[in-house]
Every structure is written in C-alpha cells, then in structure tokens.
Amino acid sequence: MKQLLIYALVASVVVFPSLECFPQTISPKETATAMLKEGMTKMQAYDMLSELTAIGPRLSGSENYEKAVKWAKAKMLSLGFENVRLNPAQIPHWVRGKTEFAEAVHGNGKKLPLTICSLGGSIPTPMNGITADVIEIHSFDELKKPGIAKGKIVFFNRPLDPTRLNTFEAYSDASEQRTKGPSQAAAAGAVAAIVRSMTLAHDDVPHTGSVMYDEKFPKIPAAAVSTNDADALSALLKERAAVHVTLKLDCQQLPDVASASVIGEIRGSQFSDQIVLIGGHLDSWDLGVGAHDDGAGCAHTLEALSIIKRLGLKPKRTIRAVLFANEENGLKGARAYTDSEAKVGKHIACIETDAGGFSPRGFTVADPVTLAKIQKWSDLFALAGAGEVTSGNPGADLLYLAKLGIPAIGFRPDSQRYFDYHHSTHDTLDKVHPRELELGAVAIAIMAYQLSENGL
Amino acid sequence: MKQLLIYALVASVVVFPSLECFPQTISPKETATAMLKEGMTKMQAYDMLSELTAIGPRLSGSENYEKAVKWAKAKMLSLGFENVRLNPAQIPHWVRGKTEFAEAVHGNGKKLPLTICSLGGSIPTPMNGITADVIEIHSFDELKKPGIAKGKIVFFNRPLDPTRLNTFEAYSDASEQRTKGPSQAAAAGAVAAIVRSMTLAHDDVPHTGSVMYDEKFPKIPAAAVSTNDADALSALLKERAAVHVTLKLDCQQLPDVASASVIGEIRGSQFSDQIVLIGGHLDSWDLGVGAHDDGAGCAHTLEALSIIKRLGLKPKRTIRAVLFANEENGLKGARAYTDSEAKVGKHIACIETDAGGFSPRGFTVADPVTLAKIQKWSDLFALAGAGEVTSGNPGADLLYLAKLGIPAIGFRPDSQRYFDYHHSTHDTLDKVHPRELELGAVAIAIMAYQLSENGL
C-alpha cells in the first residue's frame, strides 16, 4: 500500500512515467497516453523490423525462415517475455528456381518481353517451356464459352478497382484470378495461366502470391506479369492477330519441412489462463524482404508487448505474442497453433496485424456484439490515430481461431500504398516509416491492454 | 422536365455517370460517391502536380514563381473554369545566394562541418563570415540570464516533440525557435543564430523557413542546421571546451516584385455572389520543388473544381479556386486577396489545403457553431477517408479572411511524414502518392459542394 502511494505521488508529479513500477491505479486514458509517449519516445519497432528484414526474404521452408524463427525467439527472450517457445508446424517448401521467362510474339513478328514471376506453388513448365496462343480474360464466366481456352495460355487481366477507398477490398475482388484462375483455366483446357499483378500501381515488377490448385483439374504453370506489361500485352492482343506466348518456369515443390511459429507472453496477474493474443506472420514471400508483409506485423506484435512491459504494467489476463509460420502459402502455422493451443488456455480475443506498417486508421471486428463493445473504446485508440472501429474480418491467421467462436480483431492501417509493395521486390524496409510503424504498435498495445483489463 | 426524366433514367441504369449532364436530383451520398469514382478513375491531380513541380522551386519573386502563375492560369482555362484572373500582389524577393557555410571548431582543434542553409529572409553575414563561440539553448527563458549570449552564436536545439500524434502540433510548438529565435538571440546580444531543422526526421538536409525579425532588435544572420548535425554539434558542446562556429551566408533581400495570386471559379447557378473558396498556395521554398508544400494543395484545389465540372454538377453557390501568392514568406497574396475580394462577394466559407498530399484524415473547423454543422456531414467525407472533423485552425492563407468572421476550414491529411520533407530538398514529386493526393481532392470537392448546396 505504501508502495502504491509512492507510485501515486510519482504519477502526480511526472504524469506518465516510463517506469518498471508503473502505477496500476491510473485511468485507461492515462495508460494509453503513457503507451503513446513510451512508444514514440523510444521507437523500438523500426529497429526490430530492421533486424528482421536484414535476414532477407523468409519464405516457408527456406533457411532464412529458420533464421527468422531463431531471431524471433531470441528477441522475445531479450525483451523479457515469458513462456517463450516454439509451436511446431510442418510447412511447405516451394522454391522459385532460376528460370522465369516469358515473351509474347505477335503474328507480324513483333516481340514483347514480359516481366513475370512464378506464382507461389506453381508447377514448372517443361524445360523448353510452353508456347501457345493467348486469350485475355476478365471474368471466369468468359471461360464457359466452349473451346475458348482449349490449348491456350489464359491471360487474366482484370485490374483492381481503383474506386475502392479500402484497397484490401479491391484486392479481395480481383485476387481470385490468381488463387483460382489457373485451375479455372485448366478446367477450360488451357495449358498455362498468366495473371495481371495484384496491385493498383502501374509498375514494372511482378507481384507473386499463392495459386490454389483445385485437385479436380490438371495443374498448369502459372505466373504473374507486371501491370505495365499486362497493359502492353493487352494492347498487342487488340491488334487482332494471333499472339502466342512462350513461358518457362523451373520452380518446384520440395517435401514439407518441420518448422515452427514463435510464442511469447506477459502472464496475466489475475487470470493467467485467459489469453489475449496478438499475432502477425513471420514468413514472407521470397521477393523483397516482407517489410510491410508482414515484418511490420511482427514488429507491431513484439513492440506492443514490449511497451506494456517497459511501462511495468501488470495485465490481469495473459497477453500473448504469436508470430505465425507459413501464412503466405499454407496457413500451416495457424492450423497447428489452433490445434495445439486453442483448448489449453481460454482465448478471450485475438488481434491480427497483417495489413502493413502504415499510419493506423483503426480496427475491424467480425461479430457485431464484440464490435459494439470495442467501439466504446474508440477514443483510446484514437490517441494513436486508430479510432475507426468498424465491421470486418481480420486476416488469414485468425481464420481457424475465429471458427471456434473466438472474437477476432484486425488492425487496420492506411491502405493506399500497401499493394504497391505487396508480394514484390518493392516490399523493403525503406517503404516503412518509423513513426507510422510505432503508432501501430501503440494502437495494438492499447487494444490488448483494454481487452486484458476488461475482458469481453 | 423531360430532360430531368431522361437524366433520372440514365442514373437508374448507370448509377454514377461521368456526364456533362449529371442529374441534380440525387442524394448527397450518391453525389459524393460519384466524385470518388470520377476522381479515382481519372486520377488527374497527380498529373497536374507533375506539371507544376516540373517548373522547379517557386519562391516568391523568382522567375519560376511567375512561370507557375502562367501555368496555373492556363490550367484553369483549360479545365473550363470561369472568371479566370490574376489577383495582383506586391511580393518580397529574397534570394539565397551561393555561399552557405558553417563549421564548428572545438577547443581541441576537432572540426565539425555543419550542413546548413540560410533561413528565409535572413540577412547575410559579412563576406568573411562570423566566427564566435556557441551556446546551445532550448527555450527563450534561458536567454534571460544576463550576458549568456553576448557576442555569441546562439544554437536553438529544442527538438520537435515526437509524442504528439499530430506532427503539426509538434511543429507549432518548436518553430518559434526559427521564427522568433534570431531576434530573441539578438536581444540578448548574440551575433548570429543557428536553428535545429524543424523536422522529426533524423536526416542530413537542412529545412529552411521564415525568420521573422522583430524590428526592435538588430537583425542577425540565421541559418538552419540538419538534425543530424545539430545532434553532432550538441555532442561536441558537451565535451566542455569552448566551441566556436564560423558562419558564412550571402543571401539578400531584393526589392519587392509585382506579382499575383490566381483565381478561377465555377459560377453558382442560384447564388452566384455567394462564394465557397478552396485555396492553397502557389509559391514554395527554393529547396525541393514544394511537391507537398504546397503543390499538393494547388493540385487538390484545381482537381476538386475539375471533378465537380467533369460530373456536370451545377453548384448553387460559386465555388472558387484561389492559388495564393507568397504564403511562405509574407502572406502578401492572402492579404491582397482579402483586401480586394472579401467585400466583392460574400464568402460563406473558405477551405484551405496546405498540409500535404497524404491520405485524407479529415478537416478542422475553427468556430464551434460551424464545426457542429459540418460534423453532421462526416459520413460523406469518410467516403474519401476524411471523416475526422475536429476543432482547429486552417493554415496561414485564411488568417485574414477568418479575422473577418468567415468560417475557415482546414483540410487534414495524415501528418506523420510531412515534416520529413517540409521546406527541404526532400520535398519532391516522388514523395507524393497519386491515390493519396487524389483522395484529398475528392474530400475537398465533397466539402465544397456540400457548402455550396447547403450554405452555412
């Protein structure tokens, strides 16, 4: 009690002290403000992201991914997290190979080199490649016309809708071309698929991402083409003479690898078996270094817990950081975590950060009852710029937990630039702004602590 | 009437047509949505900014500023604005010169070159420079100690507060060091002033800006130093041996120049003498090309009117674009506009955009009555990401109009990156994101049209 009085006295002089012995009696607004001050003064998130991205790309199954696991575990230990451990998962091991070649040749002899990359999970072409006529498609319905794609390379070229304020909605509408397009094309007799990169930018780099083969149809090779070259190919096709494309890919699927997600926590001081989860994914695509996707989410997660620890807060419930394995091409980390951990402790809520490291705008909450509760805290999140609490789904890593009825919350930073970098060589550290990133960690710390203190 | 029916029919099929003959009967939400679709599909703001910044820096009095005036007038005419005209203003003509040199020398002989630039409006040093001992100051109060600055160079080194979410508040708190610091130093007997750059970034470029000499005290030369060199100089001073600095500047103030702000409008269909003003400033500092400050505001202003025109809307009140002269170092354009135009038409509201071209967050409104009215439209602005309508002042160009009691509204984009570029060589076109910029134009178009249709 005497100690508490001293804390109260300290708090009255230095209003928001950054102390191990942070007083527990201050208001939620004072706590949130202290988190903001602590985060924006120390700015640790960007340093962590800098270390993580220095490892390089972190595709599941790669050596770099295993380095990232070691880094994450060591970082959690150095930050003083408790119960730091690995959560085993068998993860896929797809490798890009060295040959990624595509060239369009017009009937009049005009050649157009295409900047492409294999889609993640694609099968390779034969060594000499595939050469076939090309047909441009904007919707799967067009493939229903009998014979339209028979023996051809299908070129899916529906752009993201630029009029959607939330670029994730534009991505969500268009990305079926990449995930399902190759099998839809195969069902119509196509021999390969080329997909317009899933970005609103007009640029010269291809953006990869998973293809999800439907086992009912033959697997065909699939590549992404840069948006500028997609436009050029479309223009060539409008010249109304046959255009054929040669495509060569030597990517391959290797046997699964034993790997892990990484877990650490601050144990709850009153209800330690009740868990508030914060998570991002530790893997990335093999192009770029996954600075926004999802290095930023890892940095958010680590720094959110670290801010709470640095302030000496003692959350009532356990706040747990999970850096998931294999979000990009399998969700095996999320699956394994859910299978092994969902019933060990009671997850009262999960927060996912997998939408980049830009300025916070708010959170999405899937179910209306939880949404209504959390919206009452909007003014606290607004201290870090994250006051917009709206209806919506989190990311993929919470899919299985949400199916168990656990409230799932998505962190939502500004989305305008995200798909410029997403899944491409452009997703590098310099695209992340230190203050924007740190504000995200602060917003998530505020959310997690509110959930910890109040439950749901 | 028949025509109106046809429009309604068209609107029912193609919900948001981009037509000269846009139906006037649709709801505010439909109109705002149509603006979003028009803006984000055509994306004209970035092209305009690209043209404007291609002129180069546009400091008042420079040839480039006059080129910008010609460009703006021609652009308004080409966009079909009405009553396009120049609003004359006598503007200052300060030039940076070629010599900007500073070096610190420690008592032990160690030399530290300092990356500096003259502050706008500074007097030059004598040709051989000024060499004097340095004293580091964090608040004006420290200058009250008798003799503390006598014969010295005062180094103002109070950083911007990183814990402020709104970086403009951090800037506002710190920038008195630049605007008033040199005269405060002179009052205490100093011979020159060096001011830490007004940025939250840790970088190697100096950020300029106006010094405002107090006529009561001698004018002394004043320069900005990069934040990294400010930190290095501060570290050198901590070594507790005398440090002297040599400063050489050959900037100069030339006679005022006859120039102009640029005006164009869409005449009101019902109350043409009632004006809704949208404005940014056409001048920039001479470092960088003023892409965010305030090329973005010019592009916003032009594109906001252009969106309204392209949709064929017929606003009830006149919507006027004003690209002000000389915001950066004199406000002579705003002064002249207010003197000549404020009483000609009735300005029912003014919107200023001078906070960069980043993702829209909202608007600030100065007086509480207007604020309450405008907050009711938040859902419309939120369609372009600008739903946060809060209390606050606009920028400097509306100062004189606001003093006349005219409601003044400030457009507020995300502020995290703004001062990284502000008033420095880093303020270039590549720092502006086309979608973020266009969304700002859409948000402002929605605001202006609401004001035009509803009054205040």
Structure ipTM = 0.94
Chain A residues near residue B46 by CB distance under 8 angstroms: none
Structural Rg of chain B based on CA atoms: 24
Cis peptide bond prior to B294, omega within 30° of 0: yes
- Rounded to the nearest angstrom, the gap between the alpha carbon of residue B239 and the centroid of all alpha carbons in its chain is 39
Sign of CA dihedral A210, A216, A219, A223: negative
Q: What is the pLDDT along chain A (456 residues), one digit of tens a residue?
A: 334 333 433 343 344 444 445 555 789 999 999 999 999 999 999 999 999 999 999 999 999 999 999 999 999 999 999 999 999 999 999 999 999 999 999 988 899 999 999 999 999 999 999 999 999 999 999 999 999 999 999 999 999 999 999 999 999 999 999 999 999 999 999 999 999 999 999 999 999 999 999 999 999 999 999 999 999 999 999 997 889 999 999 999 999 999 999 999 999 999 999 999 999 999 999 999 999 999 999 999 999 999 999 999 999 999 999 999 999 999 999 999 999 999 898 999 999 999 999 999 999 999 999 999 999 999 999 999 999 999 999 899 999 999 999 999 999 999 999 999 999 999 999 999 999 999 999 999 999 999 999 999
Q: Where are the alpha helices (DSSP H) in A58-98?
A: 63-78
Yes or no: say if B221 and B192 are a contact pair by the CB < 8 Å rule.
Answer: yes
In sequence order, the β-bridge partners of residue A111 are A105
Q: Which of B303, B313, B254, B271 is nearest to B96 (CA)?
A: B254
- Find tokens 């001062």 and name the residue: B419
Instruction: Report how many Cβ contacts below 8 Å link chain A to chain B.
Output: 57
> CB–CB of B165 and A439 under 8 A?
yes
Q: Please state, in angstroms and as integers, the Cα–Cα distance from residue A320 to each residue in A301, A317, A350, following that order.
A: 9, 9, 9
* pLDDT at site B22: 55
Angle at B117 between CA B412 and CA B187, to 5 degrees: 90
Report yes or no: B387 at the A interface, CB cutoff 8 Å: yes
Q: Which of A418, A358, A355 is nearest to A200 (CA)?
A: A418
Q: Give SS3 for A65.
A: helix
Report yes or no: A416 at the B interface, CB cutoff 8 Å: yes
Span B122-145, pLDDT tens digits:
999 999 999 999 999 999 999 999
**Closest Cα in chain A to B383:** A165
B225 is written with which tokens?
Answer: 């130093």
Domains delineated in chain A: 2-92+255-454 (3.40.630.10), 97-250 (3.50.30.30)
Q: Give SS3 for A310.
A: helix
A113 is written with which tokens?
Answer: 């080199």
Which residue type occupies A325?
Answer: A
- Residues 314-373 in A contacting B (C-alpha not used; CB under 8 Å): 359, 361
> CB–CB of A163 and B387 under 8 A?
no
Report yes or no: A202 at the B interface, CB cutoff 8 Å: no
Yes or no: say if A191 and A226 are a contact pair by the CB < 8 Å rule.
Answer: no
Cα B447 from Cα B411, distance rounded (Å): 10
Mutate to test the interface with A, among B41, B435, B442 (most CBs of A within 10 A): B435
* E strands present in B282-343: 317-324
Yes or no: say if A383 and A34 are a contact pair by the CB < 8 Å rule.
Answer: no
A147 is written with which tokens?
Answer: 């014979």
- Rounded to the nearest angstrom, the gap between the alpha carbon of residue B126 and the centroid of all alpha carbons in its chain is 32
- Residues 144-163 in B contacting A (C-alpha not used; CB under 8 Å): 162-163
Chain B residues near residue A389 by CB distance under 8 angstroms: none
Yes or no: say if B149 and B191 are a contact pair by the CB < 8 Å rule.
Answer: no
DSSP state of A129: -
Report yes or no: A36 at the B interface, CB cutoff 8 Å: yes
Chain B residues near residue A383 by CB distance under 8 angstroms: 165
Report yes or no: A43 at the B interface, CB cutoff 8 Å: yes
- Rounded to the nearest angstrom, the gap between the alpha carbon of residue A113 and the centroid of all alpha carbons in its chain is 31
In sequence order, the β-bridge partners of residue B274 are B346
Q: Give SS3 for B66.
A: helix
Which residue type occupies B155?
Answer: F
SS3 content of chain B, % helix, strand, coil (to 5): 35, 25, 40
Report yes or no: A446 at the B interface, CB cutoff 8 Å: no
Q: Give SS3 for B456.
A: coil
